Chain A
């Protein structure tokens, strides 16, 4: 397992190099002048030129890419924000915990709603609950986060006055954003859990467990659910990764200063260092999430764990057979 983990960590290096190059290239070829965007519509030509010189924007692509990579590889320096003149790493890492909190709460809500509903829908297939759950999951998937967030604010903040409409500093502020994000993810998790459970509960070993007189709850939650978890873990991992980078609408509606908002604002203002650094950090996090999901597979399914440990070499097997054979002749 350790070997497998180390191999995966090493594989991240070419992936991250590729990501850094692609993002750098995309920002370079995008139309728009960062100096103009920073200084605004009313900036004079001289001001724009002076700022371009200060930011090093007049250098060529390869010179700029080389300097950028040199700073990262030798000093771990992701550069300085064009707008605030603060280090990119501190700007991004100040926002990252906020988005992490938001994404985690969204995933928690989606798990709390999606998994139980999926299990019940599968065990009571074609029942009223199953149909209602399917319909709600379609609605949840179809409802845009923007609309959902405003609706929740109108109901719970404006009319009922139960919850705040913006901010993120304590649990009560996170309830509405978590519900906004978690609802559409819950729909996906619910559908995935349902279909996976349906596949598993018709297996022979489930029939065997039941015929042996095992309690239904043990059959479902211990035998069936565990075997149905692999696709669900995949879906949760993907959802978590998407929420980390894609919660911009929820962050905007609830005025949560997360990394999604930072990235979109930085793209608009052509704040290259923030975009490049932010994407790189998100790529690292996403790679670790993928690794975590793969390691979780091993935890859930011993067959996958043995695959990670790898099959014995054929030469080793022949040696073992030969040793066994000599012993046998005695």
Chain B
């Protein structure tokens, strides 16, 4: 791999990070691009520190894998913004900052005089990115929600599951993955605009709307044809498309494949033939037409079924690693249904040097983390420092930068401001 440049896109940008799980990935991305991201944590620690899983299952705020993952490359100070002194200190910090990212319910920060209007009055260039489940305003703004509720209200959950099962959540906070990623985009757009005009603004992110944005194929079905797309297990049942069969059981798990994808059918027939599963697939005009693979022709259900069941028989003979390699070698869309273990062992990711190793002195070793989601040749993504301990940078920020004395810091600690 050719050597990457050393540029840092967001050098000299400071981010005050008050985000929970719905936004922590946003600030992590900003840190990876070079920003000085300071997690402003309550004295008892960010709620992320209480999220499992935990290192060695130790229920400890310095052992949360959630904090480890999303805190990479960040600094940490403690501050109780619910106290008057804490609010005063926060305002001082804001004057040194470019972006504030927060996920409190609408009105919470305003109540302390720390909302966008108040902060932009003392520091006009400030960009505030607020992530809430439904947005800052509107009839649902005060609705209580979780990632599952957002998956439901955003339309994702309706599509997951099968014809004869209830809708099912994804067993991962995918709504928050979407909202945090979109918040990062919105924040950068605001920063880009500010770079030419000096003006900040209040970026208003709705988790529900982020999830809904990801529903395009279904929304278009409603608008174009008035159909509501139904759950179909392997894939939602799109009107006018044959039912997708994507998951096939194999010897040691599952593979995902689109074996009857129109332009790959010729490869499929060859593979079936070599596996002794292609009797009468060659003598029949209907099959010949099918395997010629013309797009947009909806194949007869009996042919699709017959071909699909032969492929299922093929898949059941082998392991997923073999099917993956062999299928791809034959030019077909075949992938394993990966578990976490499979992903960690994936050859392509290793060849790309995708994983990063981060040193944890407190644990006496290194941990492996996901690496760069994109490779930029001049100004790459880079994280090389473990997530901070609680208040690890109190001295550096409060004493070295803001000029507090040691006694002042001790006093503020004692009264739970810091």
The yes or no verdict on A and B being binding partners is no
